[in-house]
Amino acid sequence: MKKQLFLLFSVLLGYSELSFSYDPTRGALQNAPELRSYGYNQQDIYNRYHPSGNVGNSYNNNGNSYNNMNPIIIDVPSKYGAIVYSKKTGLITDSANEDSLEEAKRVAIRKCEKGDPSKSCVVFSWVRNGCLAMATGQKNGRRTIMTGSSRMEGKSEKDALKRCISSKSKECTIIAPERCSLPTPLF
């Protein structure tokens, strides 16, 4: 009786270990297209978005390849910004998060011309889907102006200072703090 209970206990223990170690992402279900949304079959997802690096096809249970599915494309409108500088007064204005480059330039120039009656405002720099900042320094008795840009927040001021210093200008400081024009999803 003890041997039979031991044998029964061993069998039950073996089945419980099997159930805990079974991974449904391996085996027949790993190529099921329905499971892709749950993170299964990562190679298939990689192959869809990197067709040149296609390492192999994934197949469903019928043996048909499903790598040639069209990816979902989300259209996020671009945003633009501009920095405008007045040559006569030194006034600096900017715009951010405009829907077109022309509108970004127009808004920044309009702001500049309010403070510069001579209307000597020119677009110094612009950005699409990124951030801008401006730094100034002195080199050979003349003022230097450098812009910095980045696709990520918090980096364009560092870029502007780095460019100012690398131009061998002295006393580099930020004169136009970072302004970002980054797209936002519509949902």
> pLDDT (tens digit, 9 = 90+) per residue, 39-98?
555 555 555 555 544 444 554 555 555 555 566 666 788 999 999 999 888 899 999 999
Q: In this model, does residue 20 exceed pLDDT 50?
A: no
Q: 89 is written with which tokens?
A: 């007064």
β-bridge mates for residue 135, sequence order: 146, 174
pLDDT of residue 80: 95
Give the helix, strand, coil percentages of the chain, each rounded to 5.
35, 30, 35
Query: Looking at per-residue confidence, does 132 or 18 come out higher?
Result: 132
Task: Provide the greatest CA pair distance for the chain.
Answer: 107
**Digit-coded pLDDT (tens) for 153-179:** 999 999 999 999 999 999 999 999 999
pLDDT-derived band of residue 183, with 50, 70 and 90 as boundaries? confident
Sheet strands (E) in the chain:
80-86, 92-98, 121-128, 130-139, 142-150, 170-181
pLDDT-derived band of residue 117, with 50, 70 and 90 as boundaries? confident
Mean pLDDT, rounded, of the chain: 76
Backbone angles phi, psi at 121, to 5 degrees: -85, 135
Q: 182 is written with which tokens?
A: 């980054």
**CA-to-CA distance for 43 and 58, rounded, in angstroms?**
8
Q: Where are the domains of the chain?
A: 24-53, 80-181
- Using DSSP bridges, classify how beta strands 170-181 and 142-150 pair: parallel, antiparallel or unpaired: unpaired
**CA-to-CA distance for 130 and 17, rounded, in angstroms?**
53
